[in-house]
Structure 1
Amino acid sequence: MKVLIIEDENLTARRLESLLLKYDPSIEVLAKIPSVAKAVQWFRENPSPDLVFMDIHLDDDLGFRIFEQVQLLVPIIFTTAYDEYMIQAFKVNSIDYLLKPVNYEELVAALNKYQLLKKQAQAATPDLTTLLNLLGKPKETDYKDRFMVTVGTKIRSIETSEIAYFFLEEKVAFLVTQDGLHLPVDYSLDKLTQILNPRQFFRISRQYLVSLSAIETIHTYSSSKLKLDLKPKARHEVFVSGDRITDFKEWLGK
């Protein structure tokens, strides 16, 4: 089976490839593609794969936009950081989906469903109009409300309301809970900015994404820079980038 992975999180793409090979070592992952533009180019230059794993939110746009630019009839298993409203959409359209982080047992079930559809000669292609309407403008309840993170040998569910802020260190994103727990997450800060409620979280710099409740004190550091005291205390000095100060002040006032 030839598989294409369309996913902008490198760690997620590599983990998915590993799980696919665990399911069937003969699976060939043709490519791991991070954006709509690169996926469109790939499809135009290569034969269609047997199966596509596609993230919903990619670097440059919604993954569904790929199918507006190239005509494909290829089975798709979506991966998504969202839960209820997205799951409902997939069920209505008989499309397989996987919630991140991808669970091996759920992956097996999705692949088994694909094999069954293949035997029955049914194409698991999406109703793009319906799905795009559902994805057109996120509602308050559409934003991510929990994260599944690995703590030692266990997987723990962290409610978004428990998170004080996220920060980037050595190219790895960490979440910090209100009680001071630091945990790595399999998302970039760019992706986190897309999937978190903008009323609750603000990207103050390339390194920090903070919740309103985590801001303890704001200092005027210079005419073009603000310094924040966060709770729990951050490992680094935390500044609001100069080009984000106006938007940051507007966000505080909402």
Structure 2
Amino acid sequence: MTNILIIEDEVPAANYLKGLLQQMDPQANVVGMLESVEMAIAWLQSNALPDLVFMDVQLGDGTCFEIFEQVSIGCPVIFTTAHDQYAMRAFKFNSIDYLLKPIRPELLRFSMDKYYQLNKENTTAKVRVLEEIVHSQILNKKNARRSFLVPYRDKLIPLKALDFAWLTIQNGIVTAMLHDDRSFILDKSLEELENQLDTSNFFRANRQFIISRDCIKDIELYFNGRLLMRVYPVSTNLILVSKERVPTFKKWFEETP
């Protein structure tokens, strides 16, 4: 079933579009027909995002572009209008097509075919990514080291991987900081440790740091789109996640058990 939202200030035009959609696809479920910018903002703020939005450009209380200034619309949008002057502006948003009124059934069919193809490609890509993540996590858990023997003076200190709060490299020396505030120098590179530690518990924040999930106390929004990790035990050096790595970090932190 495809959940579709129609934003159109002309009721006959909205009903006509709804009828065409239901004729073309019995699985098309029109979840709402809204007549204004104000109604659209209120609806989008209080309801789950639909699969697809049909959006008239010129509404009774403004243009549809004002909606994007108030809410985030992450689903595909097909714009409809009696004028083509907004076409270039429309494609700056999530537009997959731009239909001129009166809407011709064959052009609507073409637009819907574009949506179905895009949705199919996105679904396939998402499944592939999820499969790769699950596969890598299974391999990582299977091969992850649970314990280390760390040289310390004239002894070998047994440490569990879960004892590590964070690990860092400074001046070519790798140091492991434990949750109990002890620290040890390791005879391994940060790259070796990254490959040996369980990625469900450890994340490579940047070239200098690997951090554990449990050491993170809070996260500060830093300039240039980066994140600043506040950890315990405290690090005297800033632990920053680059703007490019932020989506990967969020996915790791929120979704990994």
* TM > 0.5 fold call: no
Greater relative contact order, per chain length (Cα 8 Å cut-off, separation 6+) = 1
User: TM-score scaled to structure 2, two decimals?
Assistant: 0.44
Considering only CA atoms, is the larger Rg found in Structure 1 or Structure 2?
2
